[in-house]
Structure 1
Amino acid sequence: MLTSNGYVLDERRLGELAPVPDAERADRDVLRARLQRDGYLYLTGLLDPVVVLAFREYYFGLTGAAADRATYRKVLFEQIVPGPEYAAFCAQPALKGWFEWFLDGEPFLHRRKIIRQTAPGENGIGTATQAHYDLVYLRGGSDQVLSAWIPLGDCPISRGGLTYLEGSHHRVLVEEAAGRLKRPAASITADLPALAIEYDANWLVTDYRAGDVVVHTAHTVHAALDNVSEDMRLSTDIRYQRADDAIDTRWQHHWHDRDGL
């Protein structure tokens, strides 16, 4: 049984997140068409798992010593988030180089980069990322910004990985153009089963492995599942775009969960 923020997902409205086939990985035009069609690119094994697991170990090596919530927050926002280890991980050649190739131009990495940790058994409203699409938080720049969601370690479905609402970006694009969607920035809902019915679409899930990356458009609706495993779920989401496109200046500071964005 899969849940998100305590809501039970309808098994009849679940599907499988489709990885990009090996035969398409080196064809930029095919990948762009696929992104336009599906709203996401699931790139299995894009990163070296050793590098991913080393960063996970670094993270828990620092936060694991935090005796209380206040100490944890201090380590996270004053040491890890602005630190050189996190910066290097997010700009590693396998990642930055892929965006440079795919965008066919100089890539720009937004400084506001987010790390999410979910402990086993956390559920209820607010514990898992609610359904949303990223453009509502990035209206000050290009709508062509791309998000990369990266599981920091293996993330089977039970550990609460990201789930995507199939084909949702097509409807979002239409409603954005008509000005019918939420302003200012806000999540759509925590009720994923109801949203699947409203969109007449499936939530796509998969068992992620260390080294996998999902790239999605700014219009693709996504959310997180609850962690019902026995292990900690850790991930990061970062944003790349072409450097010569309009850039949202609000996202050029290090992330803090009280930064108002």
Structure 2
Amino acid sequence: MPHSTDVNGSFDPTKTKLFVNDGLLNPSEVSFLRPSEPGQPLEELRKRYHEDGYLFIKALIPRADVLQARSQYFDLLSPSGVLKPGTTAVEGIYDSEKDTALFPGIGSGAAGGNGHPGEHAARFVDLALKAHGEPWYADFCKHPKLLEFVAKFTGWAEHTLPFRRTLLRNNIPTTQAIGVHYDQIFLRYGEPTSVTAWVPMGDISLTGGGSELGQSFEKEFTDKAKASGMTEEEAKSAFNQNMMSTGLLSGGPAEFGRSHQRRWLVTNFDAGDVVLHSPYTIHASTVNHDPNNIIRLATDIRFVDSSRPWDKVSLNT
């Protein structure tokens, strides 16, 4: 996340090199997420969230529950041949002897002559999509520890509603990472008050391609557009025209951070950690260069206040 102020920790380039889609991040372009504990006073946590645009909560969900869901996911995907022989599902270790084109991420393509995934790649994608409808995954998305915390943190209580549609993604080592975006780009039919819980499903090292977070961007753009004489609708239209066709702000986090003079915030994630962020918080991912070829797995679970107008069109199907 591009960020203009220091947070806890410092980045040591002699130990870790972080790559994004458009190259290596310089040490001066990286800092660390500020960790919080679920037992801290709510007012303090809310203050951090509004100041930083995110809340990085350690050990919110029991580690065993997260690893069980990870194991069930890779059990489902194992017939595709993605896992290294002799390893367990919960490890999620990629078989690096195979071509990564056989295992495209959801929404990407693979070699197939006509631009569509080949038969093997299509099978992998089908299994990854099937995981969204599995009972164990539905239970995980409604984990009582997560729901209870979000309900208290937001103050929405019994009106706390998780979207039925979630984003469960794997990331094979060395493949393309997610570009620069923020969630409100895809949530245009309700109030901009949703909260996203980014949940790593397993341990993720610094080089394992964890999400990076950033500060608000659309408000700054909109304020400048209105100051120039544009109406709110004209400003929104102008903003949308400057985005990529995919809805991304940019495919290259390195150049984006440099052009806006902001740093990206990163960290190691442990199974059970959760990052809550606002719909205007900019985020992207580093490329997965885990030295042990561990596949990154994470899910986005979005919550809204059901007593207020919310986006029933885009993400409740």
TM-score by length of 2: 0.73
Q: Which residue of 1 aligns with 2:148?
A: 97
Find 2:134's aligned residue among 83, 93, 96: 83
CA contact (8 A) 1:4 1:190 kept: no
Q: Which residue of 1 aligns with 2:316?
A: 252
What do residues 196-239 of structure 1 show as CA deviations (whole Å, max 9, x unaligned)? 12221110010111000000001111100000112111111110
Q: Which residue of 1 aligns with 2:60?
A: 46
Moved over 4 A (4+): none
Q: CA deviation at 1:29?
A: 2.1
Q: Which residue of 2 aligns with 1:238?
A: 301
Structure 2 residue 285 is matched with structure 1 residue 224: yes
In the alignment, the residues of structure 2 paired with residue 32 and residue 175 of structure 1 have an alpha-carbon distance, to the nearest angstrom, of 25
Q: CA deviation at 1:151?
A: 0.7
TM-score by length of 1: 0.87
CA contact (8 A) 1:6 1:226 kept: no
In the alignment, the residues of structure 2 paired with residue 25 and residue 19 of structure 1 have an alpha-carbon distance, to the nearest angstrom, of 12
Aligned 1:99-178 pairs, distance under 5 A: 99-105=150-156, 106-122=159-175, 127-165=176-214, 168-169=215-216, 171-177=217-223, 178=226
Q: CA deviation at 1:6?
A: 4.2
> Gaps (5+ residues) in structure 1?
254-261
CA contact (8 A) 1:145 1:240 kept: yes
Find 1:58's aligned residue among 59, 72, 96: 72
Structure possessing the higher radius of gyration over alpha carbons: 2
In the alignment, the residues of structure 1 paired with residue 309 and residue 220 of structure 2 have an alpha-carbon distance, to the nearest angstrom, of 22
Q: Secondary structure at the match of 2:35?
A: coil
In the alignment, the residues of structure 1 paired with residue 282 and residue 146 of structure 2 have an alpha-carbon distance, to the nearest angstrom, of 23
In the alignment, the residues of structure 1 paired with residue 28 and residue 190 of structure 2 have an alpha-carbon distance, to the nearest angstrom, of 38
CA contact (8 A) 2:31 2:264 kept: yes
Identity, % of aligned positions:
28
In the alignment, the residues of structure 2 paired with residue 233 and residue 192 of structure 1 have an alpha-carbon distance, to the nearest angstrom, of 19
Q: Secondary structure at the match of 1:187?
A: coil
CA contact (8 A) 1:114 1:238 kept: yes
What do residues 17-59 of structure 1 show as CA deviations (whole Å, max 9, x unaligned)? 1112x4x844222222211110000001111010000000000
What is the root-mean-square deviation in Å for CA atoms of aligned residues? 1.7
The aligned amino acid for 2:162 is L
Q: Which residue of 1 aligns with 2:21?
A: 5
CA contact (8 A) 1:25 1:31 kept: no
- Residue-pair matches, total: 243
Q: Which deviates further from its counterpart, 175-184 or 207-216?
A: 175-184
In the alignment, the residues of structure 2 paired with residue 153 and residue 54 of structure 1 have an alpha-carbon distance, to the nearest angstrom, of 10
What do residues 90-117 of structure 1 show as CA deviations (whole Å, max 9, x unaligned)? 1110011111111212211111101111
